[in-house]
Amino acid sequence: MFKVLIAGAKGQVGTELVKAAPAGFTVLGFGSDQLDITNKQQVAAVIALHQPNLIINAAAYTAVDKAESDVAQAFAINEQGVAWLAEAAQAADIPLFHISTDYVFDGNAASPYTEADPVNPQGVYGASKLAGEQVLAKTHSKHIILRTSWVFGAEGSNFVKTMLRLGKERDQLAVVADQQGCPTSAASIAQALWQLAKVYKQQNSLPWGIYNFCNATASNWHAFALEVFKQGLVLNLISKLPEVKSITTADYPTPAKRPAWSVLDTNKIEALLGYQIPSWKVELASVLQQLKD
């Protein structure tokens, strides 16, 4: 049996990874309570005990604004934790699939970011995620870094669930319209990672490196909110459409600076996966249906 160890198995992406494990794979899913990636001894011991064939790291410090005042913890998890996993994977000669973010970019590009474009994170979270990418690339050649963006799903907290809650509570709300990016379902990220795992299992190799992954097509938070409400109303998840005012980033100051435009070019991963990545609107319909059930 081909064993896949998942760190951060109780997060948005981790949960979907565990749910979507294909036939022929044994999933060893660990939450932070069972495997703390910042604990070097624990990482080494868990890997020695279970002897996985592949590690997927879905664990991360993801509180973008909190990271600005919690720098040490953000780097402990997003850089040091990745380093311990990379060292252990290297020692066991097994691949490490890791997830990163569009927030490694500054958002000043004029066309979708490719994997080769220069990075320039604007906040602590992005900087800590970039440090994690770099330590992984330096430590262990057998790695996949999947950069994704604006993750939503039925589990955990995310923009979709926040909008549904606000849509129930309020008649009016204001959402930022001048940040462009690609909403991406946790389930579609899990599907891509499992597809890569299948290829690796068959071929005992992969074209290692960085890949962008996000759902089609680019949107902004205001348009994303409108779609959540439109689909949510049809499914009776809300009883009426709230009025959604469009505001600017300057109207809604946050501790962390976010890229204004972080659309990812996904040609490289689509060629490797052999399928076209689904639209976020279709993925949203599936997540809303799960929230209804």
Of 26-65, binders to ligand NAP (CB under 6 A) are: 31-32, 35-38, 58-62
User: Contact between 220 and ligand NAP (CB under 6 A)?
Assistant: no
Of 122, 111, 143, 126, the residue nearest 267 (C-alpha): 111
| Residue 246 burial (10 A CB sphere; 0-12, 13-18, 19+) | middle
CB atoms within 10 A of CB 74: 27
Q: Which is nearer to ligand NAP, 119 or 204 (CB)?
A: 119
User: Contact between 262 and ligand NAP (CB under 6 A)?
Assistant: no
User: Is residue 70 within 8 Å of 63, Cβ to Cβ?
Assistant: yes
Give the three-state DSSP class for 75: helix
Q: Which is nearer to ligand NAP, 150 or 200 (CB)?
A: 150
From residue 125 to residue 164, what is the string marking binding to ligand NAP with x (rule CB under 6 A)? ----x------------------xxxx----x--------
Beta-bridge partner residues of 100: 147
Q: Has 125 been annotated as catalytic?
A: yes
Q: What is the number of the residue whose Cβ is closest to ligand NAP?
A: 11
Q: Which is nearer to ligand NAP, 53 or 57 (CB)?
A: 57
| Residue 279 burial (10 A CB sphere; 0-12, 13-18, 19+) | middle
Positions annotated as catalytic residues are 125
Residue ranges that bind ligand NAP, judged by CB under 6 A: 7-8, 10-14, 31-32, 35-38, 58-62, 77, 81, 99, 101, 129, 148-151, 156, 186
